[in-house]
Every structure is written in structure tokens, then in C-alpha cells.
Amino acid sequence: MHHSQLLNIARVTSRHRRASMYTRHSGSPSKFGRPKFALKAKKFNNSRPRFGGSKSSSRSRFGGARGERIDFSRFIKKAAHIEEKPYVSKHTFADFPFNSQLHKNIKGAGFIHPRPIQDQAIPTILKGADVFGMANTGTGKTATFLLPLIEKISKTKGQNRREKVLIMAPTRELALQIESDFKILAFGFGMFSVACVGGLPIGKQIREIKLGVSFVIGTPGRLRDLIEKKVLDLSTCHSVVLDEADRMLDMGFRDDMVFIIGKTAKERQTLFFSATLSSEIRKMTEQYLKDPAFISVISGETAKNIDQDVIRVRTKEEKLAKLHEVLKKDGSDKVLIFREMKHSVDGLEKELRIFGFKVGGIHGDKRSRERIRILDSFKKDQINILIATDVAARGLDIPDVTHVINYDVPQTYDTYVHRIGRTGRSGKKGTALTFVPG
């Protein structure tokens, strides 16, 4: 389809959308052969959404906070063509003093050579020390804390000790993924876990807790709810993990985090994992970690095997047309598109469906089961385009993403780094494109 035709389609689509805000449609077919969409007016409040997006009043037209100057040149960087020497681990997984069943599970999961954070942190965690680990997203942090903690709990099981492990994560998707990994790595141990997340039935979570669990994995909001209902007792919790600690602070969970940690045993092993070291993270580290080992495997500002560039656009119509061109190019096999606002995710999803793309969208207002279903469809290549707010920017293991597209300019460079970390993983090349005004 010619570029000018795409622009015309985009303009017509935009006009239909604007018109639908003022008129009630009968559901008659549009010129694209689909019913016109009647958009319902939404009430906006001034509170910050819990998942994804920010207050609409603080946003500029192309994303980025009002008044904030973003240096777009930082979004332009060619992937390095010089082949880097691969990391040489000091250990193999066979070297770690795990019991035979755990070694069997590790082998079954296909682990042979530890990744840098695993190689450096696992021996320290096994010694019982507190750890602050800094690593980019997608570097194997989950196994880094799960393996030694499964080993630790396996040794206490026969000692009439009902010791628990608490793992806090910023999003329900990440918490559910950690639990999924736990079930694989803890197979055969007779250990049980519960995923305490919002959006899924709390009654089922309460029943699982009452039956007895060794690993409590959840998001701060739901964990606090269960503690205040006198259902979740963390007094026997001597191991605490905060995964993506900086993200939890970004999402406004600081008070919940402090409350929950305060309910755990005073004598405990505490593990913090974060991609950044803000002043707030530093304060929490000083408050809750005792003589921690500081382990950093941050390799640089952004991954060297990601081609990064900007696409300059002047109008919404041009923006949609250029996105269409990118998505139709050879090599755009699995694309993750980020938007700042929840309703913008839904709007772009509808527009791309009109163009015939296999696309799904996730944000905090969608039911948990629906979000899980859409993510699963993306992982299994049943859809090849996923549109998301930053709820999907961290921790999710989505293999073989070829492109990350920032359809809205991220508010901070840290957010940008976390977003584009979804591509160019496991040594593969990736592409990151950011739409900017101009």
C-alpha cells in the first residue's frame, strides 16, 4: 500500500474516532468493513494509576513529562558489530553444593553455565549473607535467588521448622512468572507456594496459605491485604527477596514494602535486586540489609546488540502511517509497543486490528486472566504484536522479541532502558525505535 494511501486511511480512522465521541453509532459497517467504535466517555481523577500510565494532565502530546527536556540523541545508537568475548563463569551449576534433586531439576531446566549474576551471587546467598544485586532486565535474576533458597528450605523441612520465604515483585505478571519458575525448580521437594496477587480470587489464595506454604510470592498491595486480614503470618519468614525493588518504589509501593518487611522475622536474610541505584533504594538498603555483598553486572547504559533509532513525526496520522510501515517490514516478527496511557493502548490496538495485524494489548485495567492469556498468546506467536503500558517493561521473560517501539516517549531514560531490554536478549540482535516530535 502506498504511503499516501496509508495517510488517508489514518486520517479517516482518526476522523471516525473523533466523531464517535459526540455521536451514537448504530453499529453499521464502516468503509473498512467493520462496525464503527462508539467510545464511552471516561471519568479521570487526579490519583496516580496503580499500574501503567500517569495522570493525563502531566503528559505532553508525544509523551514525556511536561517541562522535562529529553535528549532524543540518547535514543540513537547502532548495535556494536565487534563481537564481545563471552562471559566466562567461574562455576558450572554442577559446582554449587545443591542436593541431588535440585541438581536434577537444574539439568532438566537446561542450565549448564551460570549467567554473570548467578555465577557471582549464588555462592554468597548460599552462605546466608545479605545481597544487593544490580543487573539489567533479563539476566537470570529469578534463578539467582530461587535456587539457593530452595536449597535452604529443603534443609529446614525435617527440623519441625515452618520457615517461609517471602518474594515481593512489582507486578502480578512477574510474581506469577516467579511462581511458575519455582514450580519447575522445586519439583520433587514437596514444597508449596502461593501467588498473592490482585486480580485473582483472594479466597483461593487464603485457602492455599492455610494449607501451608514455604514460598509466598506476591505484589505489595495483595500481600498487605492478606496480612491485615490476619491470614498471612510472616513471623517465621527468615528469607526476604525484593525483586525489581526500584520498580516497586516507582509505582508508589514504598509504604507497603516497609509495612510488609516489618512483619518478617528480625533475624533474616534479605536480598534486593534492582536495575538502578537511586537515593531511595540506597536508603532502603542501609535500613534493611546487614553488611550486604554488593554485586553489579550492569554492562552499560543500554545493550550493545540493540540498534536504536528515532522516528520523527509531525501529526498523529503520520505517526500511525509510519508505524504501519515499520510493522510491515521484513524482520518485524515479534514487536512490543509501549504506550504511556491505558486508554491509548486500547485505541492503538483497535487501529492496528483495522489494518489486519494480529495484536493484543495489556494494561492494569484488564482482568488478570485476560492479561495472562494475551501474554501467553504473544509468547506462543499466536499474535506477533503486543501493546503495553510499562507494567510489561520489567521482569517478564518474553523470548525472541525483534523490535521494541516506544510509540510514546518514555518519561525517563531509566524507563527507556528497561523497555528496550525486552529485545536483543540471549546474544541476539534487536531493534529499538522511539517516535519523537519533529
Q: Tell me: the pLDDT tens digits for 104-153? A: 999 999 998 899 999 999 999 999 999 999 987 677 899 999 999 999 99
pLDDT higher for 216 or 156?
A: 216
Q: Are residue 292 and residue 232 in the same domain, yes or no? A: yes
Mean pLDDT of the chain: 82
Nearest to 307 by CA among 414, 405, 396: 405
Q: Are residue 147 and residue 271 in the same domain, yes or no? A: yes
Least confident among 36-45, 297-306, 355-364: 36-45
Nearest to 216 by CA among 251, 264, 249, 258: 264
Cα–Cα distance measured from residue 348 to residue 367, given in angstroms and rounded to the nearest whole number:
19
pLDDT higher for 83 or 380?
A: 380
> At 119, which CATH number?
3.40.50.300
Question: H-helix or E-strand containing 123?
Answer: helix 116-126
Q: What is the mean pLDDT of residues 36-53?
A: 37
Q: What is the mean pLDDT of residues 70-95?
A: 78
Is residue 86 a part of any domain in this protein? no
The pLDDT of residue 82? 46
Joined together, the cell numbers standing for residue 386 give 503486543
What residues contact residue 179 under an 8 Å CB cut-off, 6+ apart?
193, 194, 195, 215, 217
Question: H-helix or E-strand containing 222?
Answer: helix 220-228
Cα–Cα distance measured from residue 32 to residue 5, given in angstroms and rounded to the nearest whole number:
13
Most confident of 74-88, 253-267, 410-424: 253-267
Q: Report in angstroms the alpha-carbon separations of 35 from 15, 20, 344.
A: 15, 12, 20
Is residue 47 a part of any domain in this protein? yes
Cα–Cα distance measured from residue 63 to residue 313, given in angstroms and rounded to the nearest whole number:
13
Q: What is the mean pLDDT of residues 49-63?
A: 40
Q: What is the mean pLDDT of residues 261-279?
A: 92
Nearest to 245 by CA among 302, 169, 299, 172: 169
The pLDDT of residue 69? 60
The pLDDT of residue 278? 80
- pLDDT of residue 427 exceeding 90, the answer is no
Q: Are residue 203 and residue 261 in the same domain, yes or no? A: yes
User: Within 10 Å of residue 258's Cβ, how many Cβ atoms?
Assistant: 13
Of 247, 265, 296, the position where a domain reaches its end is 296
The pLDDT of residue 43? 37
The pLDDT of residue 9? 47
Is residue 175 a part of any domain in this protein? yes
Cα–Cα distance measured from residue 111 to residue 243, given in angstroms and rounded to the nearest whole number:
21
For 102-140, b where at least 16 C-beta lie within 10 A, e where not — what string? beebbeeeebeebbbbbbbbbbbbbeebbbbbbbbbbbb
Cell 548467578, residue located? 118
Question: H-helix or E-strand containing 100?
Answer: helix 100-108
Question: H-helix or E-strand containing 202?
Answer: helix 202-211
Structural domain including 156 reads 93-296
What residues contact residue 280 under an 8 Å CB cut-off, 6+ apart?
249, 254
- pLDDT of residue 23 exceeding 90, the answer is no
Q: What is the pLDDT of residues 305-339, one digit of tens each?
A: 899 999 999 999 999 999 999 999 999 999 999 99
Structurally, the chain folds into a number of domains equal to 2
Most confident of 267-271, 281-285, 412-416: 267-271
Q: Are residue 246 and residue 347 in the same domain, yes or no? A: no
Helices assigned H by DSSP within 380-432 = 413-420
- In this prediction, residue 299 has a pLDDT band, given cuts at 50, 70 and 90, of low
Q: What is the pLDDT of residues 208-247, one digit of tens each?
A: 999 999 999 999 999 999 999 999 999 999 999 999 998 8
- pLDDT of residue 41 exceeding 80, the answer is no
- In this prediction, residue 190 has a pLDDT band, given cuts at 50, 70 and 90, of very high
Is residue 87 a part of any domain in this protein? no
Is residue 88 a part of any domain in this protein? no
Q: Are residue 282 and residue 400 in the same domain, yes or no? A: no
Q: Are residue 310 and residue 267 in the same domain, yes or no? A: no
- pLDDT of residue 31 exceeding 60, the answer is no
- In this prediction, residue 434 has a pLDDT band, given cuts at 50, 70 and 90, of very high
The pLDDT of residue 52? 39
- In this prediction, residue 21 has a pLDDT band, given cuts at 50, 70 and 90, of very low
Of 296, 319, 342, the position where a domain reaches its end is 296
Q: What is the pLDDT of residues 331-346, one digit of tens each?
A: 999 999 999 999 999 9
Q: Are residue 279 and residue 366 in the same domain, yes or no? A: no
The pLDDT of residue 365? 83
The pLDDT of residue 431? 95
The pLDDT of residue 425? 75
pLDDT higher for 280 or 208?
A: 208
Q: Are residue 334 and residue 198 in the same domain, yes or no? A: no
